[in-house]
Amino acid sequence: MSNFCFRLLFRLGMAVASDQTEVNLQTTLCPHPLKLKARTGTLSTSRGLAIESCAYASEGEARGFGTRVLNAMLLGGVVRRLGVDFGTGKRRAQFHEDIKKDIAETGATLRDEVDGLDVYEDFNTIFFVFDGHATAPGSPEDVGDLIDVAAAHAQALTERQRIAAELLNDSLFEVSTDASFLLRISAIEALCPQAPASTAYVTLATTLRNAIPSDVPKEEREIMECLLKRDTRRQSVHSAYMSKFRCLLGKHKAKEFEKLYKLRSKFLHEGLGRGNLLEPADAALNLAQELLLADVTSAQLQ
């Protein structure tokens, strides 16, 4: 009988306060047990952690439940404000085939580590890893809570929702307040696609292009025409985020974000506010969390 597993490799913005190398996690999201494992040393000292679950009948089933746990943890990291990082999906240290053959002679299978989600058929699989680190403490139960707190939203995330969740989790690690502020504003922008411009807007822009006086110097004319052509392809960033907030959270929240976006523009284009963005960063996190969860809920109701 086939035995497929999934393995999630990640790091947290906290260290797990446990001297054990692995513990079982209690969650209702998966039909089979989850194990939280330290990559090296103990759970409290390991820089990286892994969640493993086996006994799935097919690769597709294992991948499906692995994706649900990953999605839940991304959202849970935002809700609990702990920070979860699943990396880029790339393989870590890769072992030479001769080494893998030597391991196979012992009856085991040596598998290269993969950041994020990895799915495999288990033939006494082992992973060789390196490194160790410790940060602020939490508990194994906190990791299970990351999964359960967002389990209801874990069915699927759109690409934009996933990007927003990843940016918000990144902002919860140890970076400057200024960087956190920009990451959180960017997360909100990711949730606000710029829709195609309306017919009325395109008509107006065309009229303005045609109204440029013929005696305007060529360089200035080309600049104006370029701006008007660009703006007719899609709605502005301002229009996109105002529409999104009004639809999901109301006019008041839209105005709140408008103020934060102006601070972002002044910071990037004029260098204003550097070192004084703690409160705006907190406000941006609150709005981003609300918008992300509202967007996920709205998409799943459709």
Do 38 and 122 lie in one domain? The reply is: yes
Q: Of 154, 178, 205, which residue is a domain's last?
A: 154
- The percent of residues above 70 in pLDDT, for the chain, comes to 81
CA distances from 117 to 68, 158, 163 (A): 11, 17, 16
Would you give the end-to-end CA distance of the chain in angstroms? Answer: 38
| pLDDT (average), residues 277-298 | 94
Residues 105, 240, single domain; the answer is no
Domain count, the chain: 2
10 and 132 both lie in a single domain: yes
Residues 6 or more apart whose CB falls under 8 angstroms from that of 300 comprise 153, 155, 156
Q: Which residue has the higher pLDDT, 125 or 301?
A: 301
The answer to whether residues 138 and 252 belong to one domain is no
- The answer as to whether 208 is a domain residue is no
Same domain, 102 and 190: no
Q: 9 with 144, same domain?
A: yes
266-272 long-range Cβ contacts below 8 angstroms, 24+ apart: 267/178, 267/181, 267/182, 268/182
Within this chain, do residues 133 and 264 fall inside the same structural domain, yes or no?
no
Q: Look up the domain containing 263 and give its range.
A: 186-195+235-301
The answer to whether residues 282 and 150 belong to one domain is no
The overall average pLDDT reported for the chain is 83
Instruction: Record the tokens describing residue 124, joined without a space.
Output: 């006494």
Is residue 205 one of the residues assigned to a domain?
Answer: no
Question: Is pLDDT above 70 for 108?
Answer: no
pLDDT of residue 124: 59
**Do residue 141 and residue 273 come from a single domain?**
no
Shared domain for 133 and 191, answered yes or no, is: no
Q: Is residue 206 part of a domain?
A: no
What is the C-alpha separation between 101 and 277, in angstroms, rounded?
Answer: 55
The answer to the question of residue 209 being in a domain is no
What is the predicted pLDDT for the residue at 111? 62
